[in-house]
Amino acid sequence: MTDYLLIAVVLSFVVVSVVGGVISISFWSKHKQRRLARLKDSHMRLRTVVAELLERVNDLDEQLKYRSDMKGGPEDDKLKVAAKDLVTVTECLPTIQELLADKRLNDGADMLSGCCRVVEKVTRLLDQIQPAIQITDSTSGSTLKLPMKEKKIK
């Protein structure tokens, strides 16, 4: 009788440990799936932000080309740094996507974080350049006033 009792106790410990292991594996699996989903979402948002910043750099570059007084100035140098950094981030985006596809979450998160820091730096640079470039009338030197649509008040 004691042998059967001992076997029952041992089997109950085995069953409890197996069920506990399955529950913990299920928890970690769901945790990794949620983290992977968050990282993929962040990756897609980063792609969008980088595309918009590239458009902004292009617009500022076009404005600088037509301003003879600003060629070779500090704004031009800042714009070159910003463009170079954005190209570097753009080259990293496929690597991040591959890391996430291979489920190397820590490596993907590290690269994503680094790219976000570079994007924040570029945003600050572009914010410094933007006020320096103003569209001016070449004859009078005054800032052009663009027509605004009047908002209807209800």
Q: Look at 11 and 117; give whichever has higher pLDDT.
A: 117
CB neighbours of 49 closer than 8 A, spacing ≥ 6?
119
* Encoded tokens for 100: 């996430």
d(CA 45, CA 110): 16
Q: Look at 17 and 104; give whichever has higher pLDDT.
A: 104
Percent of residues, the chain, with pLDDT higher than 90: 45
For the stretch 89-102, pLDDT in tens is 999 999 999 999 99
For the stretch 59-80, pLDDT in tens is 888 888 876 665 667 788 888 9
Q: What are phi and psi of 102, to 5 degrees?
A: -85, 0
For the stretch 110-122, pLDDT in tens is 999 999 999 999 9
**Coil, strand or helix at 72:** coil
pLDDT higher than threshold 70 for residue 24: no
Contact 76, 125 (CB under 8 A): no
Contact 105, 39 (CB under 8 A): yes
Q: CA torsion, points 113, 114, 120, 126, in degrees to nearest 10? A: -150
CB neighbours of 100 closer than 8 A, spacing ≥ 6?
36, 39, 40, 43, 108
pLDDT higher than threshold 70 for residue 38: yes
pTM of the model: 0.66
pLDDT the model gives residue 112 = 94
d(CA 16, CA 125): 59
